[in-house]
């Protein structure tokens, strides 16, 4: 599965939320999108200072530089940590966090930035974001990301990872590899990368060229993280926040909001 065409449009300079479970490849896809669109990017990181007033001053400098570099993409990773419940620090920092978050919100919704700054906020827990930041005008597009649904999709991911590492499998191995990947439902892109790298290590340790048996051995040997409920919760939160039903894979597209909310409530009780 991948976002539908038009899910992001650099020419409009809007804002977007990229949501989905850990290891799904949000960062990778956003980087690929920026490269294809020809957009330079700035990742908002630590600009805070221990001196009173310096944090706000640092932020203003950052925002002025971003405007001067436009057209540009401003990427905010782990947005729930920055914007959740007023951000980190609360009232213990003299209100600095609240002022900083308010300023970034204003920047995101500033009509003068349209067509100039594309702000992309990434998170796997959109439920922890402040409600005010999720409204249209601050986050215009909410794009959900999900793990590969089919063996064919997993095979494409594995082949890309192998190619990136200078290796490949013969095309006639597809049928056998599809069968091996069929049972990997719920495996993240990061898990598939770990399997591919493990297969390369196995082949290297045997002083052999990568072959199908190495991947089959890696699949049998690899143990994925056991956080099924947490992953399902993150997936459903991405469904709940999606701004368009057409962005959802078939298994989620027919769920009504009440069903999604009920499932999320049950999963939250189980992961506590």
Confidence of residue 85 (pLDDT cuts 50, 70, 90): low
* Two tokens, residue 130: 């402040």
Q: Which structure tokens are listed for 106?
A: 């204003």
20 with 138, same domain?
Answer: yes
Shared domain for 21 and 139, answered yes or no, is yes
- Residues 79 and 134 grouped into a single domain: yes
Residue 237: inside a domain: no
The boundaries of the domain holding residue 74 are 15-145
pLDDT attached to residue 4: 46
Q: What is the CATH number of the domain that holds 66?
A: 3.40.50.300
CA distances from 15 to 40, 158, 181 (A): 16, 31, 36
pLDDT > 90: what percent of the chain? 49
Looking at residue 94, its pLDDT comes to 64
Instruction: Please give the Cα distance from 34 to 206 (Å, whole number).
Output: 39
Together in a domain, 130 and 168: no
Coil, strand, or helix at residue 120?
strand
Q: Which of 140, 126, 146, 144 is nearest to 10 (CA)?
A: 140
pLDDT at position 86 over 90? no
pLDDT of residue 53: 59
Check which CATH number belongs to the domain holding 167 and give it: 1.10.8.60
pLDDT digits (tens, 9 = 90+) for 119-157: 999 999 999 888 888 887 788 899 999 999 899 999 999
> Is residue 155 within 8 Å of residue 181, measured between CB atoms?
yes
Q: How many domains is the chain built from?
A: 2
**Helix orientation angle between 257-271 and 228-241, rounded to the nearest 10 degrees:** 150
- The string of pLDDT tens digits covering residues 153-176 is 999 999 999 999 999 888 788 889
Task: Please tell me whether residue 105 adopts helix, strand or coil conformation.
Answer: helix
Give the separation between CA 25 and CA 67, rounded to whole angstroms.
Answer: 28
Final residue belonging to a domain, choices 145, 163, 180: 145
Residue 270 lies in a domain: no
pTM confidence score:
0.82
Q: How far is the C-alpha of 21 from the C-alpha of 129, rounded, in Å?
A: 15
Quick check: is 261 in a domain? no
């Amino acid at each position: 599965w991948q976002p539908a065409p038009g899910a992001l449009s650099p020419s409009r300079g809007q804002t977007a939320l990229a949501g989905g479970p850990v290891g799904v490849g949000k960062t990778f896809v956003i980087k690929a999108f920026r490269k294809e669109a020809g957009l330079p990017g700035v990742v908002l990181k630590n600009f805070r200072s221990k001196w009173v007033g310096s944090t706000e001053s640092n932020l203003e400098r950052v925002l002025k530089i971003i405007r001067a570099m436009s057209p540009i993409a401003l990427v905010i990773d782990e947005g729930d940590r920055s914007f959740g419940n007023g951000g980190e620090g609360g009232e213990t920092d003299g209100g600095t966090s609240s002022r900083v978050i308010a300023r970034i919100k204003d920047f995101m919704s500033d009509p003068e930035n349209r067509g100039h700054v594309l702000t992309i906020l990434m998170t796997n827990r959109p439920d922890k974001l402040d409600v005010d930041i999720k409204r249209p005008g601050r986050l215009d597009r909410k794009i959900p990301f999900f793990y590969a649904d089919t063996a064919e999709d997993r095979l494409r991911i594995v082949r890309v990872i192998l190619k990136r590492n200078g290796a490949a499998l013969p095309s006639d191995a597809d049928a056998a590899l599809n069968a091996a990947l069929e049972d990997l439902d719920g495996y993240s892109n990061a898990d598939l990368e770990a399997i591919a790298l493990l297969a390369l290590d196995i082949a290297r340790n045997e002083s052999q060229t990568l072959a199908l048996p190495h991947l089959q051995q890696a699949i049998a040997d690899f143990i994925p993280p056991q956080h099924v409920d947490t992953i399902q919760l993150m997936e459903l939160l991405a469904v709940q926040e999606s701004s368009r039903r057409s962005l959802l894979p078939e298994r989620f597209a027919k769920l009504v909001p009440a069903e999604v909310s009920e499932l999320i409530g049950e999963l939250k009780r189980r992961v506590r």
